[in-house]
């Protein structure tokens, strides 16, 4: 029996862990912007970690259940309500046929992940149910959730999960001010030494242009470029390059003014240089940043990045053990 969507909120999409393997064709991995939060919500309700759930931005949907299920909400502090009664985040709770799940006001973060036992069972596209609206892939007919939609659930409903919770010490969230660790990139030499230092010294703020494709930051000093001859095939702006591939987490500074971090639905290549890449362990944090959030970039080495990834994996293993 499906879930009936009464109201979709601001932007609610179906997301899993994405569709790897197609980036060379221009199709991004997509999937949950905060992968740890989606994994945690799925573990709470007894789903595989990569099962499809709902990603709600700033404001939650209103959903009516037509069968009993277990639900969990992780990520942003967007308190869920069952028939008007508040339920805790990062915890599993039951719903019965006819129950309505809604949400209180956002308290912190930006994206909440709603997992339901059985998982959302819309048809997969290229191996994933994740919504990639630009390419009309996944989700519901390639789009976000809308009022009046019916969301099918998969088999194997979990029982006896209600009351389980993830210990607070294992709930990853960005600090204040947020620190995003970055490896310098292939084009780091294209900016002056003074600008290299200023980039890490300044406090930036998240701009209003912050979505699944990328996050723009403003408020720091403008970047100064090393003089060069315009390369064949590149644009005339000093930040232009001959088109190249973009790794996830790439940090671009078009015209040297406002850095942009490319995220899950970003394009796979283009003509702007990349001064660095945010490490994988910090990519989840970006999806939880609201506009105007103070942010610092921190320069790290590859050894630092690998250590951070190992620490993130250790945290995930502890979540699995806590819910075993």
- pLDDT tens digits, one per residue of 132-189: 999 999 999 999 999 999 999 998 666 667 889 999 999 998 988 899 999 999 999 9
Rounded Cα–Cα distance for residues 135 and 1 (Å): 29
* In a shared domain, residues 142 and 289: no
Residue 226 counted as domain residue: yes
Tokens of residue 70, six digits: 């277990």
Beta bridge pairs of residue 75: 112
pLDDT of residue 250: 97
Distance CA 208, CA 195 (A): 24
Tokens 């995220």 label which residue? Answer: 263
The CATH number given to whatever domain includes residue 245 is 2.40.100.10
Do 210 and 105 fall into the same domain?
A: no
pTM above 0.85, yes or no: yes
Query: For the chain, which residues score pLDDT lower than 70?
Result: 156-160
State whether 213 and 300 are in the same domain.
yes
Last residue of a domain, which of 170, 201, 217? Answer: 170
Q: Name residue 264's beta-bridge partners.
A: none
Given 130, 145, 170, the domain boundary residue is 170
**Cβ-contact 276, 188 below 8 angstroms:** yes
Dihedral over Cα of 180, 186, 189, 190: its sign: negative
- Specify if 321 maps to a domain: no
Q: Which pLDDT score is estimated for 295? A: 97
Domain region containing 106: 3-170
Picking from 101, 298, 37, the residue whose alpha carbon sits closest to that of residue 183 is 298
Condensed to tens digits (0 to 9), the pLDDT of residues 223-252 reads 999 999 898 988 999 999 999 999 999 999
pLDDT given for residue 119 in this prediction: 96
């Amino acid at each position: 029996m499906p879930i009936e969507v009464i109201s979709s909120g601001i932007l609610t999409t179906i997301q899993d862990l994405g569709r790897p393997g197609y980036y060379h064709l221009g199709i991004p991995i997509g999937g949950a912007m905060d992968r740890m939060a989606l994994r945690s919500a799925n573990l709470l309700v007894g789903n595989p970690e990569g099962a499809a759930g709902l990603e709600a931005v700033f404001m939650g949907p209103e959903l009516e259940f037509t069968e009993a299920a277990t639900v969990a909400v992780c990520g942003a502090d967007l308190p869920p309500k069952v028939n008007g009664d508040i339920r805790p985040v990062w915890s599993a709770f039951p719903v019965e046929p006819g129950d309505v799940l809604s949400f209180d006001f956002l308290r912190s973060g930006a994206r909440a992940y709603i997992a339901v036992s059985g998982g959302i069972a819309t048809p997969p596209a290229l191996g994933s149910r994740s919504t990639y609206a630009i390419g009309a892939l996944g989700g519901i007919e390639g789009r976000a959730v809308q009022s009046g939609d019916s969301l099918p659930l998969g088999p194997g409903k979990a029982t006896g999960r209600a009351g389980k919770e993830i210990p607070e010490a294992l709930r990853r969230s960005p600090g204040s001010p947020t620190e995003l660790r970055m490896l310098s990139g292939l084009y780091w030499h294209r900016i002056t030494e003074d600008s290299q230092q200023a980039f890490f010294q300044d406090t930036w703020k998240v701009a209003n242009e912050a979505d699944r494709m990328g996050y723009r930051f403003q408020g720091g000093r403008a970047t100064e470029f090393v003089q060069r001859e315009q390369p064949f095939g590149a644009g005339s702006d000093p930040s232009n390059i001959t088109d190249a591939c973009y790794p996830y987490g790439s940090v671009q500074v078009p015209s040297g003014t406002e850095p942009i971090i490319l995220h899950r639905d970003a394009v796979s290549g283009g003509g702007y240089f990349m001064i660095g890449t945010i490490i994988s362990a910090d990519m989840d944090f970006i999806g939880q940043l609201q506009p105007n959030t103070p942010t610092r970039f921190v320069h790290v080495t590859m050894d630092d990045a690998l250590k951070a990834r190992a620490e993130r994996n250790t945290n995930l293993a502890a979540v699995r053990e806590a819910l075993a």
